[in-house]
Structure 1
Amino acid sequence: MKKNLFLPLLFLMAFGFSSYAQEALFRAQNIISPEILSDNSVTFRIHAPNAKAVQVTGDFLPTVKMETPMGEMDGPGKANLTKGENGVWEFKTQSLGPELYNYSFIVDGFSTTDPSNPFLIRDVASATNIFIVGGGHADLFKTNDIPHGTVARRWYDSPGLGMDRRITIYTPPGYENSTEKYPVLYLLHGAGGDEEAWIALGRTAQIMDNLIAEGKAKPMIVVMPNGNVIQDGAPGEGSKNFYKPQFMIPKTMDGTYEGAFEDIIQFVESSYRVKANKANRAIAGLSMGGYHTLHISRYYPNTFDYMGLFSAAIMPREDATGKVYNDFDATLKAQMDNGYKLYWIAIGKTDFLYDANKEYIAKLDAMKMPYEYVESEGGHIWRNWRIYLSQFAPRLFN
């Protein structure tokens, strides 16, 4: 009988590939990175036996000045890893304070994520690993054993923009099983972000779940739209499918988004159980979203009782030609005269927008427009914006 040598060969090949895959899998599992120690120091490790130099960069390191499309800004520093006998490079930090941190490796000049850490977030076009050192305000960023809300990605019709658009909406714990009506916070992202930014980078669901469970914030719906009016959804989630995200997209700050914002309010108030009045509407945003918050709340001066400007991009723009920007002083005064409960401004001391925010505050002072001002450490970073949300949300709808 003629023997079939092909089947044993296939078996050996399959066994070999399987063994290789398992070896790679187990080798990765044997490397713990990052390892958070009892004193809150953190050890990073990466297996790179042929590398000549390995560094780690992240926001747990002292900042350095770097040039960006927005000018000179603070950026993460770098630290050198030390190579061990087994080809595993290591670096141990000092004790770190409570925070959600991000980091990546640089291997022989090539930036890469940590193969031993599957937890990543995307900020514009960059993906970095994350970890949390618990305690204090960082416990708000954790998924704890408490009741949880629901995060939904919905599509809504925007007649003002002529397309259906994707939107992220958080409903508080118990929403589905109750008949109660809820207040709404409209939470806007910055340049380069989209409807995924606040839920992923901002940890909005975790922050709201924890604040509500602790009785520090009222149960509310949080609406996170896409502020890029030429997109129907985030890169990879809209009709253009997969393409590289960009920092600044055309028409994001020319008045188009602000002018069509009523489409979002109409969708929310016709699709969810909400308290559809000024006293139960809030709007806030970071950077470009702070710019949008300023102008949307002024353009619709009797719509929101709560405004939050987080590191707002308050600056003149050549493309700001839409009717939304007409009669700025008059509409701002109309907003003031209509009355509101909270106009909240927060900015980091080293934020590149610090001076512009101080100039805007001087303008509010001159017209005697009430506001609250919070000045924090740090610059134009998510670390600040997560904290601002955790400080702003408890002030709403009381």
Structure 2
Amino acid sequence: MKKQIVLTIFLGLLCIASYAQQALGGATNIISPEVNSNQTVTFRLLAPNATEVKVSGDWMPAEGWVPGSVNMTKGEGGIWTYTTSALPSDLYMYSFLVDGFKTTDPNNVYLIRDVASVTNVFIVGDGKADLYQVNNVPHGTVARRWYDSPGNNKKRRVTIYTPPNYENSNEKYPVLYLLHGMGGDEEAWIALGRTSQIMDNLIAQGKAKPMIVVMTNGNVAQEAAPGESSLGFYKPTMQLENTMDGKMEETFSDVIKFIESNYRVKADKANRAIAGLSMGGYHSLHISRYYPNTFDYVGLFSAAIMPSQTTSPAYADFDNTLQKQKDNGYKLYWIAIGKTDFLYKTVTEYREKLDKIGMKYQYRESEGGHTWTNWRDYLSEFVPLLFK
């Protein structure tokens, strides 16, 4: 009787293990994507009944706001394949189109959410993307913390990177406040921007000073990222209340107060930096001006510089407060934009305004447009300039 029970349990475990392996491999040992030694990348998808399969990726020329796509070739066993030309070192996002239906790669478990879209990712190394890898270096800590925001009458979540050895030292650190773009949240820079990997690697290489990086949620209507708050699971959207209406700027002091009350920081202007992409660049511009003697370092990455549509005090008296920011002095005002970015013209006009009042800045113009490829570059270049 005991032997029968043992045999039954053994067979049951064998079935479970077999099912788990099948779920993991999709019953076929398909590797996709496969980054080849010559930096080409091969994609594979088992779809024997499909009549057309395409791969769409952000390395292809865009079709409007949508990445381009290319046909895959059907081979033996119904496996469709496509191999790219050699790709520059970077982190890439892609998806499949099966008879017009967009889907993720079932053989690639590495996915990232960008607003309401989920796409697979892969990294081609041997270049700048080595900064995006988890390398064998000392690692910092990433924490999600909740803080009181009296200005928004709620508790809100923030993502915080502390540098290697923070927990084992008594040292005080400078702080970079890093803001996301429209549709993003406190997860955007840590996931799409690879912030913790970039920071670990730059610090290990001696190219950046150890610092705390605070990644806020710029949508003050939210407690936290979708699915991470009391609102539960809902479809993310870019159309949120209180977006770019001044409320983020007006209540940003709640974030600073929390950080400086709960972390070992150097709480002075010389040790505070603020930067952001797109909407976050807009917020960084106005926060640094609204609190004109608070930040010595400001970074505007593809900043969404546009006229205010509200009467918020954060946007009032723009020219005089910008002049006051200039007169108070700062160490770095850094502006970056892609040549084909749809915001290129407004950034150019803002630079002309700065030139007119003699407000010094560093300018970085890159190829490409409004993309995470550029924003990861900008972060990797901006961080080494801080707190010198």
**Deviation at 1:14?**
10
| Off by >3 Å, runs of 4+ in structure 1 | 11-29
CA distance in 2, matches of 1:274, 1:258: 21
Aligned with 1:215: secondary structure?
coil
The answer (yes or no) to whether the contact 1:98–1:135 under 8 Å persists in 2 is yes
Deviations 1:18-39 (A, max 9, x none): 7666545444561000001110
Aligned with 1:387: secondary structure?
helix
CA distance in 1, matches of 2:105, 2:45: 7
In the alignment, what sits opposite 2:343? 353
Q: 1:171 to 1:16 in 2, by over 3 A?
A: closer
In the alignment, what sits opposite 2:7? none
In the alignment, what sits opposite 1:336? 326
Q: 1:28 to 1:120 in 2, by over 3 A?
A: farther
The answer (yes or no) to whether the contact 1:104–1:114 under 8 Å persists in 2 is yes
Say whether 1:165 aligns with 2:156. Answer: yes
In the alignment, what sits opposite 2:367? 377
Aligned with 2:379: secondary structure?
helix
Return 5+ residue gaps in structure 2 as ranges.
1-9
The answer (yes or no) to whether the contact 1:28–1:115 under 8 Å persists in 2 is no
**Deviation at 1:135?**
1.6
The answer (yes or no) to whether the contact 1:28–1:116 under 8 Å persists in 2 is no
Amino acid at match of 2:326: M
In the alignment, what sits opposite 1:71? none
The answer (yes or no) to whether the contact 2:179–2:277 under 8 Å persists in 1 is yes
With 57-66 and 15-24 compared, the bigger mean Cα shift is at 15-24
The answer (yes or no) to whether the contact 2:21–2:27 under 8 Å persists in 1 is no
* TM-score, L = length of structure 1: 0.93
CA distance in 2, matches of 1:211, 1:266: 27
Amino acid at match of 1:355: K
Q: How many residues align?
A: 382
Q: 1:238 to 1:213 in 2, by over 3 A?
A: same
Aligned with 2:167: secondary structure?
helix
Deviations 1:70-91 (A, max 9, x none): xxxxx31101011112011000
Say whether 1:145 aligns with 2:145. Answer: no
Q: 1:174 to 1:287 in 2, by over 3 A?
A: same
* TM-score, L = length of structure 2: 0.95
The answer (yes or no) to whether the contact 1:188–1:289 under 8 Å persists in 2 is yes
With 265-274 and 242-251 compared, the bigger mean Cα shift is at 242-251
Amino acid at match of 1:51: A
Aligned with 1:160: secondary structure?
helix
**Deviation at 1:317?**
3.8
CA distance in 1, matches of 2:21, 2:292: 62
Aligned with 2:69: secondary structure?
strand
Amino acid at match of 1:391: E
CA distance in 1, matches of 2:246, 2:53: 46
Correspondence for 2:246 among 252, 255, 275: 255
Deviations 1:314-357 (A, max 9, x none): 01242x32111110000000000000000000000000000000
Say whether 1:388 aligns with 2:360. Answer: no
CA distance in 2, matches of 1:27, 1:119: 16
Say whether 1:368 aligns with 2:367. Answer: no
In the alignment, what sits opposite 1:115? 106
The answer (yes or no) to whether the contact 1:170–1:205 under 8 Å persists in 2 is yes
Seq. identity, % = 68
In the alignment, what sits opposite 1:288? 279
CA distance in 1, matches of 2:44, 2:168: 46
The answer (yes or no) to whether the contact 1:62–1:76 under 8 Å persists in 2 is yes
CA distance in 2, matches of 1:21, 1:390: 40
CA distance in 1, matches of 2:71, 2:150: 53
Q: 1:341 to 1:23 in 2, by over 3 A?
A: closer
The answer (yes or no) to whether the contact 1:98–1:136 under 8 Å persists in 2 is yes
**Deviation at 1:364?**
0.4
Pairwise CA RMSD: 1.9
Amino acid at match of 1:321: T
**Deviation at 1:64?**
2.5
In the alignment, what sits opposite 2:192? 201
The answer (yes or no) to whether the contact 2:308–2:315 under 8 Å persists in 1 is no
